[in-house]
Amino acid sequence: MLSDGLFLLSELPPSPEQKRLAIGVVLALLLASAITAPFARIQLTNTEAMLPAYAAAVLVNELITSALLLALFSVQRSRAVLALAIGYLFSGLMVVPWSLSFPGVLPAADLDAGLQSTALVAALRRIVFPLLVVVYALLKDRPAVAMKSQRSMRQTVLVSVAGVVFVVGSFLWLIFVNHEVLPRLMADKSIASGPWWYVAWASMILYVAGMLLLWRSRRSVLDLWLIVVLCTLFIEIVLLSFISAGIRLNVGWWAGRIFGLISTSMVLIVLLSETTALYGRLARSVSAERRARENRLTAMEALSASIAHEISQPLASMVTNADAGLRWMAKANPDLEEATAALKRIVRDGHRAGGVVEGIRTMFKKGAQERAPVNMNQIIGQALSHAQNEVQLAHVSVRLDLDERLPTVIGSSVQLRQVIANLVSNAVDAMQAVLGRARVLHISSGREEPSRILVSVADSGTGLDSLPPDRIFEPFFSTKAEGMGMGLMFCRSIVEAHGGQLWVTENHPHGANFLFTLPTSDVQTSPGSTA
C-alpha cells in the first residue's frame, strides 16, 4: 500500500522483478557487445542516411525523460532531480546539431566546419550528461527544498530550461563559429584523433564514478535504472572508441549506437509504465483515504454523542441529588441523614463525570497515540491493581490464566489499559445483582496462531440477557459503565485501531465473555488497513 508515503519514482524502492529486469538488460547488452566485437571493424559505408532517424529517436527519448523528470521535480522539489532533468535536456538538445553536422548527413548545409563540430558536440554530450548524473547522485539524499508555491516551481523549471537552451546555444556558437580555439578531436571525417581519447576516458571515468555513487546510495527505481543507463553508455563508449577503434560508421560504431538506443528506450518504457502504475495506485489510495475519513467522521459523531451522554448522566443525577437534599433540609423536621447521603452521592457522581473527562483526555493525548512493544500480561496486572478497590468491594474473586510466554504486541499501553479497565468494570457491574452463586472474574491471555494474541475477560453475572451480541457496542446503548465511564464503543475502536477485534459471547453457565485479539509485534499493523 502507499500508506508508507513512498510513491514518487525517486523514492519508491524497486521491486524484485525490476531488479531482475535491470540485470537482464545489462547482461543482454554485454552479450550483444561480445557477439558484435569480432565484427566491429567492418565498415558500413553510406549509412549516414540512417543517422537522422537514430538521432530523432534519441531526441524523443531524452526529451520525454527530461519532461518526466521535470514533472517529478515540481512535485518533489529535489535539486538532484532537477540536475538530472537538465542533463537529459542538454543531451537531447545537443543531438540535433550533432546529427545535422555529421559529415554526409546534410552536405548542403556544410555545418561541419573544419570537421570538428560533430565530435565537439558529441564530446560535450558525453561529458555533461554523466557529470549531471554524478551531481544527482551526490545531491539526492539531501532533504527537499522548502515548500514553494506552484508558480515558483514552474518558474524554476522555465528558468532551468531557458538556461539549458542558452548554454546549448553558447556552446554551439563556440563550436560552429569559433572552433579554432577548441581542440581537434577528429583526424579526418571518420577517424578520431588523440584528444578524442581524453574525452573517451574522461567520460568512462565519469560513468564509473556515477555508477559507484549510485550503487552506494541506491534506494529507488530511478537510481536503479540510472545505473543501467550509465552501464549502457559505458558499453557504448567502449564499443565506439575502442572496439571499433574510434572509426565512425563501422559495425562496432553502429552496434554501440543501436544498443545504446535500445537500452535507453527500455529505461524510458520502464519509467513510463512505473509512472502509470503509480498513478493507478495513487487514485485508489486517495479514494480509500476518502472512505476512511468518512468512516472516521461517522464514528466521531457517534463518539461525541456517546460522550455527551456519558457526561449528562452523572450531571443529571447530581442536580437531582442536590434538589432532593434541599427538600430534605427544608422540611419542618430537616432530615440531615438524608441530606448528607444526597451530598455524598453528588461527590461520587462528580468524580464519575470527572472520570469520563479524564478518560477522553487520555485517549486523545499525544502519549496515548504512541506505539511501543507492550506486554499485555503487565497491562492486565496494572489495570487490575487500579481496579482493586472496586473488585474487592463487590466481593468479586479474580482468576487469572495468563500465558507466561505471551508475545509482545505493538500498541499504546495507556489505551490498552483503558480497554482492560473498562471490561473489568463492566464485568464487576454485571455481577452486582448476582446472589447465591460465586462472583468470579476470569481473565486469560494466550497466543492464537499464527500471529495473534487472545485476551478474554469473563464474568459470572447476568449475561447477555438474550441480546444480539453486537448491540452492546452501539453508541446509544445504555451502558452501566462507572469509573472510566467510557463505554464499549471506545474499547472496540481502540482494539480495532491496534489491528485487532473485540467481541462478546455467552459465558457458561452464567455471564458474558468479552474477547479480543491483537496482532503480535512481528506482524506490523498499518492503521490504514483496518479503515
3-state SS, residue 457: strand
Which CB atom, from 97 or from 325, has the smaller least distance to another protein? 325
Which CB atom, from 399 or from 480, has the smaller least distance to another protein? 480
Can residue 304 be called a binding residue for another protein (CB under 8 A)? no
Give the one residue of 309, 371, 386, 510 binding another protein; rule: CB under 8 A. 309
Site for another protein in 342-361 (CB under 8 A): 342, 345, 348-349, 352
Which CB atom, from 112 or from 310, has the smaller least distance to another protein? 310
Which CB atom, from 223 or from 349, has the smaller least distance to another protein? 349
Give least dist CB 318 to another protein, A: 8
For residues 111 and 123, what is the distance between their CA atoms, to the nearest angstrom? Answer: 17
Can residue 477 be called a binding residue for another protein (CB under 8 A)? yes
Can residue 53 be called a binding residue for another protein (CB under 8 A)? no
Phi, psi of 517 (to 5 degrees): -110, 155
Give least dist CB 386 to another protein, A: 21
For residues 303 and 305, what is the distance between their CA atoms, to the nearest angstrom? Answer: 5
Give the one residue of 320, 362, 375, 378 binding another protein; rule: CB under 8 A. 320
Q: Which segment (61-69, 165-173, 341-349, 384-392) binds another protein by CB under 8 A?
A: 341-349
Q: Which segment (102-110, 116-124, 138-146, 320-328) binds another protein by CB under 8 A?
A: 320-328
Q: Of 127, 133, 131, which Cα lies nearest the Cα of 215?
A: 133
Give the one residue of 108, 181, 433, 435 binding another protein; rule: CB under 8 A. 433
Give the helix/strand (H/E) hosting 453. strand 452-458
Give the one residue of 291, 361, 480, 508 binding another protein; rule: CB under 8 A. 480
- Collect contacts of 17-22 with beta carbons under 8 A, ≥24 apart: 18/221, 18/224, 18/270, 19/224, 21/270, 22/224, 22/225, 22/227, 22/228
Helix axes 79-101, 117-139, angle to 10 degrees: 170
Which CB atom, from 133 or from 318, has the smaller least distance to another protein? 318
For residues 185 and 118, what is the distance between their CA atoms, to the nearest angstrom? Answer: 9
Burial 280-307 (b: 16+ CB within 10 A, else e): eeeeebeebeeeeeeeeeeeeeebeebb
Give the one residue of 148, 476, 526, 529 binding another protein; rule: CB under 8 A. 476
Which CB atom, from 146 or from 433, has the smaller least distance to another protein? 433
Tell the residue number behind the cell numbers 524484485, with chain if given.
16
Q: Of 444, 445, 441, which Cα lies nearest the Cα of 460?
A: 441
Q: How many residues does the chain have?
A: 531
Can residue 324 be called a binding residue for another protein (CB under 8 A)? yes
* DSSP codes joined into one string, 4-52: GS--STTTSPPPHHHHHHHHHHHHHHHHHHHHHGGGTT-B-TT-GGGHH
| Cα R_g (the chain), whole angstroms | 37
Can residue 321 be called a binding residue for another protein (CB under 8 A)? yes
Which CB atom, from 186 or from 430, has the smaller least distance to another protein? 430
Tell the residue number behind the cell numbers 433540609, with chain if given.
329
Give least dist CB 312 to another protein, A: 6
Q: Which segment (74-82, 88-96, 165-173, 464-472) binds another protein by CB under 8 A?
A: 464-472
Residue numbers of the site for another protein (CB under 8 A)? 305, 309, 312-321, 323-325, 327-328, 331, 335, 338, 341-342, 345, 348-349, 352, 433, 465-467, 472, 476-478, 480, 482
